[in-house]
Chains A and B, each alone.
Chain A
């Protein structure tokens, strides 16, 4: 079983601040990484995918990947109350995803 670990939450940030989420994974050969957002009682919703080392930006979200350190992170800039959710890190193993336990983010207005 491939292990995916996320920094334990909950993470509380003020509106407008940066939220930083971290994820490490155990399988060195993993090539595909995803961040999903999950609101309470809802399904995972894709935020970003990242495949190559470095940064990938999409709007207020930036994913960072370091395969040598087996580390992937997500930054949420200018956090909004609507960003309050659980963020799931997922690592692909062939065509299945292994998920972390999630980090719950609360954005304080």
Chain B
């Protein structure tokens, strides 16, 4: 069964450093997302991406964040200058367009645990 993959599984970085989190969405999916979950808190939406552009972003997704689909398979999240509060699990998800106006199911990758020291 196709699945979303993410690398690395755990990233440790120093405050102020840049990190790139990588995702390979399910191959026939067209919508891509990043979510994050701070330990003990809700899963929070960061950004959605379709047709090579951001379709929606949350207040969390400020100028420190960017996303890119550099080739036909990868989808990346870059954090330019990490802060302590960026420590969280970051989940990539993908979906196909919904039918009849319904939002189709989003499938989540295993996540990258980002630790900022």
Contact = CB atoms under 8 A, between A and B. Distances in A.
B110 A95 contact: no
For the complex of A and B, 3 pairs with smallest distance between CB atoms: A92-B103, A32-B103, A99-B43
A96 B48 contact: yes
A94 B103 contact: yes
A102 B33 contact: no
A42 interface: yes
Contacts, number: 57
A69 to B, nearest CB: 20
Given A51-B102, A88-B43, A95-B56, A44 B91 contact: yes
A16 to B, nearest CB: 29
B109 A43 contact: yes
A43 B93 CA distance: 10
23 contacts: A31-B102, A31-B103, A32-B98, A34-B105, A42-B110, A43-B109, A43-B111, A44-B108, A46-B105, A46-B106, A46-B107, A94-B103, A95-B55, A95-B56, A95-B95, A96-B45, A96-B56, A96-B58, A97-B35, A97-B106, A99-B42, A99-B43, A102-B42
B109 to A, nearest CB: 6
A59 B86 CA distance: 39
B108 A43 contact: yes
B108 A96 contact: no
B75 interface: no
A73 interface: no
B108 A95 contact: no
A97 B33 CA distance: 10
Contacts of A98: 45
